[in-house]
Structure formats: structure tokens, C-alpha cells
Chains A and B, each alone.
Chain A
Amino acid sequence: MRNTLRLFTAVLTLALLSAQSGSAAGSLTLTFSSNASGISMGGTGTSSASIAFGSVRAYGGSVPTGVTKSLNGTTNWTLSTPINVEVTKSGVTSASYTMTAQLKTSDATLTWKLGSATVTSASPATVTTSGVYGSSTPYTFSLTIPFSASARSVNNTVDIVVTSN
């Protein structure tokens, strides 16, 4: 009986020690919007958006307004467009934000980039570690397609995570 009581006391002490002092502050808001030089995005001005490239091909044809197509030698070709991301803060002691991006579904054929970061499904790619609060910042989204790739429909989702630094 005495042993049981001692054990109970020990558990209770551990639980009481678990309280920590700390501080929690502020809030963080993220908004996507179309860039004047870029493609018109679905869901613009919200925290979810889409880019529809339509049907495009390496040689000939046309691309939607705001999308740039470039041929890279004989290896591949790239579609790119700028998008705007705006992050605002309120009451947070933080000089900048970190933004990462990750594909929902793996894609072994195409190369997805946001800014200079290559975005894959394996792990979050760091797009910026010094994002500026309160300004609509353009990031170029690009999709590089090898000439060897067969024609297909391209559907994927980029998950963008924003965190205060």
C-alpha cells in the first residue's frame, strides 16, 4: 500500500512539472493573387488558387496570356508565369517569413519550380527564408517538360506553407 501511494505521488509531481512559461503572439495571413504580367488565376485573392495552362505544345500553338514558353536547346521546354503571394502579420515579433512548397503527387517526368526552388513531393522545398510582410511578392512558377515526354494531362497541387521567422 505504501509503495502504491509513493508511485501515485511521483506521477502527480511529474504532471505538475509539465507547465511551462512562455509567450504566444500575433497572427499570420496568406493571400494568393494574380500578377499583372502573369496568367489569370482561379480563386485569386484567396488562400487557394489555380493556374490553367490549357492545351500547349513545344512547337507552334499558343500559350495563355501571361504564360511564357521557352525552348531549352534540344532537351526540354518550359512554361512559366509569375504569381503573387502576400503574407501579412499582426502582433508577431518577426522580421520575415519562410515559405516552402511541396507537390502533393510525385512527378518523375516534369520539373516543377517556384522561384528558384525545385518543388517535389519528397520534402518541402524552401522558396524563401526572408519573405517580406505586407507586400505582394511575385514568384515565378515554372514547369519544365522534356522533349522526350509523351503528351499527357498535367494535374498536380503545390502546397505552400508559410511560417513566421
Chain B
Amino acid sequence: MKQTRYVLRILKCQKALASCAAGVLCLALATLSPVLAGPARPGVPLQPATEPPPSLTISPGVIMLTGQPGQSTTQDVTMSNLTPRPFRFDLEAMDVAVRGGQRVFVPAGEMPRSIARTAVFSPNSFVVGPGDSVTVHVTVTLLENPATRAIVTVFRSNTKIQGQDGLAMTASLGALMTFTLSKKFQIESAPLQFEGTSEGNDLVISEWVTNTGSEPVVPSGVVAILNASGNLVGKAKVEAMRLLPGERLQFKSEYPSQLKQGKYRALMTLEHDGTVLTTSSDFDIR
């Protein structure tokens, strides 16, 4: 409650100072926000806030949907322009296919039963001014036996900074939309791999995991290290990664402390959608 009150006061102050110079505003915020910035030290001059670099931001970056074929959904995706110039965007959807274990973006309609082909954008192009945001409504319909379980809605930039001769680059951002249509979740793992098994080195434990099911999964987990007596020596987190059906990724964990010479056993446990997959292997630190 206290924090809420502070935020409200700051917002009111921001409004009041909107016409003032930025430096004044920063100073006012620093003075007002002991809760947010910590106590001021006497005699230490206040530093002006660092300006964030100019950027384009898409939000949300990922949308995970669950449903049945025949259903449709409308999602809002917002583009924010934090640059000093206007940007024009055209909307486009692409299917996200998996070939050879890796993702490939396929233009809408190229694959049979393309979900991307059903995408409707409102608006389908827009200009977003400096400091502004534009929200686009994206409607997609799930087909029977769709070709993929993911599409990307691309905000394709049509604004470029052109040099005299050469190359211009435009930044486009995509929001990933994944679709879960059944309970057919399954992942399979290869044997554990070890790097840095000499004493004093940083130990990295990894395994290649393939999504052999029909639906997207986001496994995450932990690696437990046991000593020769079977006692727990330590644990390390395995970061969550998204796997589309057919996709193959290497799940890695860096053990945070160093192990002494000896024999150990590693158990990597990955959990997703109520399912647990554990792989274990013995290794030596020499």
C-alpha cells in the first residue's frame, strides 16, 4: 500500500513537471523516491538518470494458447517506438516449422493447413510515432490437423535509414504464438555430456532433448550431483527452453561451485506439463 502511494505521487509529479526540462524531472524523481532508489547520501551529488537507448519493443513477445481445432482467438500485440523518429510497420504471419530439429519460418500458405494463412490483423499496417505505441488485434483460427504448432506475427518495418550506396537494415520484431491442441506431450533425451571435468574447472552438464510429442513444451529442471556414497553434493538449475514438436535443443547447466577429485553421479531432471524426465550418468573429476 505504501509503495502504491509513492508511485501515485510520482506519477502526479511527472504530470506536473511534464513541461519542465528533463533534468529537473530526473532530480524531482530522485528526491521523491527514497523507497525506489534507496536513501540519499549527504554530500554525494545526484546523478542524472541514464537515458535508455533508442529501441523498438514488441509486447507480448510470446503468446501460448490452448484450444481445439475450429476455434479462433484474438490477441493484442503492441509495438512501442522509443526512437526519435516515426516507424511504419506492415503485419505478416509466418508458420514456424521444424526441419532437421531446427525452426524455420515459412511464409503463410506455403504449407498445407497453414495457421498463418488464417491470420487477420487490425490494423494490418500502421505508423507509430516517437514515444508512441500501437496495438494490433491479431485473429487466428485453428484448423483441423494444422501444419505446425506455432506462428510468428511479424511487425515488418518499412522504415530504413539509407546511406548513399550500400546496405540499409530494418529491424522487424515478431511475437511467437504457440498452440497446444492435445495432451500428447513427450520429450526424449540423449545421454548426459560433461565439460570441465578437471579439478578447478567449471563443470557444465548438458543433454540434447527432442520433442517427440505433438505439442509445444517448455521443460525446465535441475541437475543434482551425488558423491560416491550417494549423498547429495549440490544442485544447479536448468533454464527453461521452449521445444516445438520435432525440435531438438541442448539443455545446459553450469555447476556453480567446484568439485574435488573423485567419482560422482549427475541426475538431470526436466519437468513439463506434469511429466518428469530424469537422465543420470556417472562421471569423474580428475
A residues within 8 Å of B by Cβ? 14, 17-32, 42-43, 45-55, 83, 89, 92-96, 98, 100, 123-124, 126, 129, 141, 143, 153-165
Contacts and interface: CB of A to CB of B under 8 A. Distances in A.
B71 A160 contact: no
A122 B61 CA distance: 26
Given A18-B72, A29-B56, A46-B83, A157 B165 contact: no
Interface of B: 53-68, 70-73, 75, 80, 83, 87, 94, 102-107, 152, 154, 156-157, 159-176, 218, 239-242
Contacts of A51: 163, 166-169
A158 B163 CA distance: 13
A18 B172 CA distance: 30
16 contacts: A18-B73, A21-B65, A22-B63, A28-B59, A42-B161, A45-B53, A50-B161, A51-B163, A54-B166, A83-B169, A159-B156, A160-B172, A161-B173, A163-B154, A164-B176, A165-B103
B170 A159 contact: yes
A48 B55 CA distance: 9
A100 to B, nearest CB: 6
A43 B83 CA distance: 10
A152 to B, nearest CB: 10
| Chain A at the B interface: SS class | strand
B166 A49 contact: no
Contact of A53 (B152, B166, B169, B242): B166
Contacts, number: 208
Contact of A94 (B61, B162, B172): B61
A157 B165 CA distance: 11
Contacts of B53: 31, 45-46
A162 B27 CA distance: 36
B171 A47 contact: yes
Given A18-B72, A46-B54, A26 B60 contact: yes
B241 A95 contact: yes
Given A17-B70, A31-B54, A50 B103 contact: no
Contacts of B168: 48-51, 155-158
Contacts of B161: 42-43, 46, 48-50
B58 A27 contact: yes
